[in-house]
């Protein structure tokens, strides 16, 4: 059994200004849109997101999301898992995750050429 450490900014109160600054970045917003759209709330690896940025930049973006309290990370030593703090975010900002999920659906629809796969 390997040791793991859950990393979450527990002292962060999900400050509106900090959350909006975090979501202003297109890469962090894309991560949050994907997480919000998947209501099963799986733990994802940081490399599972299709981001055209370096590993160091990914690390920075995931740390920013963690530091403002939107996600938590689990450190497995050689990799990290990331998960949405859905209950905390929904309690503090009702509707925000629904908005991000809807934006994800809109972006997917546009990416598919406006054709819905039903």
Tens of pLDDT along 13-23? 799 999 999 99
For 56-92, b where at least 16 C-beta lie within 10 A, e where not — what string? eebeebbebbbebbbbbbeeeeeebbbbbbeebbeee
Q: Going from the N-terminus, what domains does the chain have, and what CATH number goes with each? A: 5-109 (1.10.10.10)
Across the range 43-71, mean pLDDT stands at 94
Average pLDDT over residues 75-98: 94
Q: How far apart are the C-alpha atoms of 8 and 11, rounded to whole Å?
A: 9
Residues 6+ apart with CB under 8 A from 17: none
| Average of per-residue pLDDT across 114-118 | 58
Q: What is the pLDDT of residue 61?
A: 97
pLDDT reported for residue 1:
40
Average predicted confidence (pLDDT) for the chain:
88
Tokens representing 74 are 């689990």
Query: How much is the pTM?
Result: 0.84
- Whether residue 100 contacts residue 37, with contact meaning beta carbons closer than 8 Å, is answered with yes
Q: How confident is the model at residue 112 (pLDDT cuts 50, 70, 90)?
A: confident
Residue 110, pLDDT score: 81
């Amino acid at each position: 059994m390997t040791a793991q450490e859950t990393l979450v900014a527990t002292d962060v109160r999900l400050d509106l200004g900090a959350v909006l600054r975090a979501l202003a970045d297109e890469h962090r917003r894309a991560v949050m849109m994907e997480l919000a759209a998947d209501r099963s709330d799986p733990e994802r690896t940081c490399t599972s997101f299709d981001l055209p940025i370096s590993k160091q930049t990914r690390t920075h973006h995931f740390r920013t999301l963690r530091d403002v309290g939107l996600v938590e990370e689990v450190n497995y030593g050689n990799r990290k898992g990331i998960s949405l703090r859905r209950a905390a975010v929904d309690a503090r900002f009702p509707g925000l995750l629904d908005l991000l999920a809807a934006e994800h659906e809109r972006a997917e629809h546009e990416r598919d050429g406006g054709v819905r796969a039903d």
